[in-house]
Amino acid sequence: MVIINISSTKRTEFIDITSQIERVIREKEIEEGICIIFCPHTTAGLTINENADPSVRSDIIAHIEKLIPYRGHYLHLEGNADSHIKASIFGSSLSLIVKNKRLILGRWQGIYFCEFDGPRERKVYVKVLSG
């Protein structure tokens, strides 16, 4: 298992971690298999989406904020109830396929760490399984 360290700089931010995940695959030298990416935080998540036009990420963040507003009526008193809800909607794990020692991704896909309660120091765990 490899740990990737991430420093977020805003409250809500999608951080591209594709190259770090690809480096893990390269260094493991696994020919064929799968790759599990896991986010150990309850106010952050993971997603795969467009890596070209950054306005796609802005649209996702803005729309999720509209559906699950920061300043809503919540019971949880730490001011980050919305972050927990967003984390569950996006999810904590991704499953990917490794082929010919490379991570399989679509042409426009990037892997993003979804910060919903930053800025914070965060981690992502990566596990590659051969087979």
Nearer to a copy of itself by Cβ, of 26 and 97: the residue is 97
Which residue reads 């298999």 in tokens?
33
Report, in Å, the least distance between residue 118 CB and a copy of itself: 15
Binding site for a copy of itself (CB under 8 A): 1, 32-34, 36, 38-42, 47-50, 53, 55-56, 58-60, 62-64, 67-68, 72, 74-78, 81, 84-85, 87-97, 99, 104-109, 125, 127, 129-131
Burial letters 101-119, b for 16+ CB under 10 A, else e: eebebeeebbbbbbbbbbe
Report, in Å, the least distance between residue 72 CB and a copy of itself: 7
Nearer to a copy of itself by Cβ, of 91 and 119: the residue is 91
Compute the distance between CA of residue 34 and CA of residue 127 in angstroms, rounded to an integer: 8
Which residues have a Cβ under 8 Å from the Cβ of 69 and sit 6 or more positions away?
A: 82
Report, in Å, the least distance between residue 99 CB and a copy of itself: 5
Report, in Å, the least distance between residue 26 CB and a copy of itself: 18
Do the beta carbons of residue 64 and residue 97 sit within 8 Å? no
